[in-house]
Amino acid sequence: MMKKSSIFAAGLLSLAVVGTAIAQDSENPAVKARTSIMQLYAFNLGTLGAMAKGEAEYDAEAATRAANNIVVVSQIDQSAMWPAGSDNVSDPSTRALPAIWENFADVGAKGQALADAAVAMQAAAGQDVEALKGAMGQLGGTCSACHKAYRAPEN
Ligand code: HEC
C-alpha cells in the first residue's frame, strides 16, 4: 500500500512538471503566431504607456514609431491563427477561451475597435504628450475589452 501511493505521488509530480513546461511554451505554431502578435502590441503599447504616465520622457518620433507599429500589426490577417481545437480547454498551453469560437463576429468587432483606436493614436502620438494621453485610454481599453471577454487569467 505504501509503495503504491508513493508511485502515485511521483506520477502526479512529473505530470505537474510537464504541465508547467507546456503552459510556458506552446507547441502549436498558430498559438505561437498569435501570442507573438500580442507581444508586439504589448511592447509598443508599453512605449506609449510609459510616456503617458510620465515614466519616460515624451519623444514624438518614438511615440509615432510605436503607434505606426500597432497600426501595422493590427492589419495582419489572423484568421489562420485561431484554428478549432486551440482553446484553453482543448490545449492548456493557450489562454484563449472557447467563447472565441462561439462569438467570432464579436471577436472580429473587438479586433476592429483596436485597429480604429490604433489609427487614432497614430494621428495623436506625434503631436504632444496631451494628445497621446487622450488617445491612450481608448487604445488600452480595446485590449482589456477583448481580454476580459476572451482571455483566461494567467495560470
Ligand atoms: C480581439 C481580441 C483581443 C484584442 C483586441 C487584444 N488581445 Fe491580447 N490576447 C487575446 C487573447 C484571446 C489572448 C490569449 C491568446 C492565447 O493564449 O492563445 C491574448 C493574449 C495577450 C497577451 C499574452 C501573450 C502571450 O505571450 O501569452 C498579451 C501580452 C496581450 N494579449 C496584449 C495585448 C495588447 C497590448 C492589446 C492591445 C493593444 C491586445 N492584447 C489586444 C485577445 C485580444
Give the Cα separation of 83 and 33 in Å (integer): 12
**Amino acid type, 61:** E
Q: Is the dihedral of CA 103, 85, 35, 76 positive or negative?
A: negative
Please check whether residue 99 is in contact with residue 12, taking contact to mean a CB–CB distance below 8 angstroms. no
**Which of 143, 144, 148, 154 most suits a substitution to test ligand 1, by most atoms within 8 Å of the C-beta?**
143
Give the Cα separation of 100 and 34 in Å (integer): 14
Our measurement of the distance from residue 58's CA atom to the centroid of its chain's CA atoms, rounded to an integer in Å, reads 25
Per-residue model confidence as pLDDT tens digits over 66-113:
999 999 999 999 999 999 999 999 999 999 999 999 999 999 999 999
* 87 in contact with ligand 1, CB cutoff 6 A: no
Report CA(75)–ligand 1 centroid distance (Å): 15
Please check whether residue 99 is in contact with residue 149, taking contact to mean a CB–CB distance below 8 angstroms. yes
Q: Flag whether pLDDT at 135 surpasses 90.
A: yes
